[in-house]
Amino acid sequence: MHRPDETIAALATPPGEGALAVVRVSGPGARAALEALIDGRGRTPRLMPRHLHYLHLREPGSGALDEVLAVWMPGPHSYTGEDLVEISAHGGPETVRALLGALAGLGVRHAAPGEFTYRAFLSGRLDLVQAEAVAELIQSRSEAARALALSHLAGGLSDRLRPLREELLALLRDLELGIDFAEEDIEPVSREDLHGRLAALRNEVTTLLAGAREGRLLREGARAVLAGAPNVGKSSLFNALLEQDRAIVTEAPGTTRDLLEEAWVHRGLVFRLQDTAGLRAAGEIGNEAERLGTDRTEAALREATLGVWILDGARPLRDSERRRLAELDAERDLVVINKRDLAGFDRRRADPFLPRGVRALAVSAREGTGLDDLRDALFDLATGGAGQAALAATVAVNRRQEARLAALQHDLALLDRERVASLEDELLARHLRDALAELEELTGDRVGEKVLEEIFANFCIGK
């Protein structure tokens, strides 16, 4: 992915029409490429580091490109740690196409997704955790997610991980010193001291892992799946919560056959709301479309953060609905009894069938009554009752980091008091090296090319 002798370029702002388009160029030929495009018919300005220059650009041997503002930042004091040029041109696809084409004619390669940040990582400007925070900052959809990403970019998580690595290295060094001088009966670290230090490491890893749920919630939002029998008002409730006519609503049952998803923010938390096809008992499925719709609903429920089970409060419950209610989990499921505006509505219909702790709310999707209570109930359920405190995390690992920490926790768990007391130094050292390898893959101090490619492939081009 990275050849340091190559110079790369890409659009760093969103594609399309706009007031400005910023093209970023990085590598040993960045400054020369910019100088080659400066219109030489007038006095060519001398480029000053970190100064904004007003320039007329012209493709060599061709016509004018644009009037731009450009800055040259020599390495290592740039985002990538290399010579870097940023050109602010007039927005528009054709201007960008012409500018990138002119750079390509000078031998500048188009950058791969995330390659600028990848170069920043390789040059030591960012560690791997900080590099991931760059993507998380760009992708943040709430203030809480933005604050978490900024904290990690500033080194908040890295500062917690660095002492773990330093302690593992110190323990490994002391053990290996004892191995090297075994004949001299030197014990640089006692088994009791080793056990205590390993226990402290395990406690810190456990603390970091405890924040994984908050990290997923802040970064990915809460996926809330609206489920229930046909014609209970799922699509009406979907539209009412979003405050827009997103889903088709008719009196005929079974209007929704596929999943619809929209994002919505409440109290700083992003909810990914999904409307689903009505769930039918096996004997009620009439055609292939209904079967596929039911299968997709079931799949969505398995992956959901929250299950929102909707009932028609103006009619008796079906046997299939009673069975579903008995299976609900108070920590992830909520019951919504809809159609409280209709005659014959009874909010108590579900009570005899609800497991302990499962909450039920009465609403009218048509009139919008009860929706504020429903939004707050979803927020409370998603945050595990922690409320706004769940959104205040400044250190919370992502899924990749969680996997590596879990592996590290497993390696450290193998070194309990009994094993520390009984194992030979060589075996203890091997376990410590395994633990260190997991931690260094997390931080990027020792990580394979394939892992790096997978991480940076999720970045946008130009970052």
What are the tens digits of pLDDT across the range 356-377? 999 999 999 999 999 999 999 9
Are 276 and 234 spatial neighbours (Cβ–Cβ below 8 Å)? Answer: yes
246: confidence class by pLDDT, cuts 50, 70, 90: low
**Average pLDDT of the residues in 157-167:** 95
Q: How far apart are CA 408 and CA 396, in angstroms?
A: 16
**Average pLDDT of the residues in 2-24:** 91
Whether 73 shows a pLDDT value over 90: the answer reads yes
Calculate the CA 188 to chain-centre distance: 43
**Average pLDDT of the residues in 418-443:** 90
**Average pLDDT of the residues in 253-268:** 76
**Average pLDDT of the residues in 163-176:** 91
Which pairing describes strands 260-266 and 52-58: parallel, antiparallel, or unpaired? Answer: unpaired
Q: Domain 228-391 belongs to what topology?
A: Rossmann fold (3.40.50)
Q: What is the mean pLDDT of the chain?
A: 89
- In the chain, CATH 1.20.120.430 covers 131-211+396-444
In the prediction, which pLDDT does 206 show?
95
Whether 444 shows a pLDDT value over 80: the answer reads yes
Q: How far apart are CA 29 and CA 383, in angstroms?
A: 50
252: confidence class by pLDDT, cuts 50, 70, 90: very low
Instruction: Look at residue 402 and give its three-state secondary structure.
Output: helix
Instruction: Look at residue 118 and give its three-state secondary structure.
Output: helix
176: confidence class by pLDDT, cuts 50, 70, 90: confident
When comparing pLDDT for 448 and 206, which is higher? 206
User: Which contacts (CB < 8 Å, 24+ apart) does range 322-331 have?
Assistant: 322/353, 324/279, 325/350, 325/353, 325/354, 325/355, 325/358, 326/353, 326/355, 327/355, 328/354, 328/355, 328/358, 329/355, 329/358, 330/355, 330/356, 330/357, 330/358, 330/359, 331/381, 331/384
Q: Domain 131-211+396-444 belongs to what topology?
A: Four Helix Bundle (Hemerythrin (Met), subunit A) (1.20.120)
Q: How far apart are CA 57 and CA 65, in angstroms?
A: 5
pTM of whole model > 0.85?
no
Enter the CATH code of domain 8-127. Answer: 3.30.1360.120
In the prediction, which pLDDT does 53 show?
95
- In the chain, CATH 3.40.50.300 covers 228-391
Quick: pLDDT tens for 102-120: 999 999 999 999 999 999 9
Whether 277 shows a pLDDT value over 90: the answer reads no
**Average pLDDT of the residues in 260-270:** 90
Report the share of the chain in percent with pLDDT over 90.
Answer: 63
In the prediction, which pLDDT does 249 show?
52
Quick: pLDDT tens for 302-361: 999 999 999 999 999 998 899 999 999 999 999 999 999 998 899 898 999 999 999 999
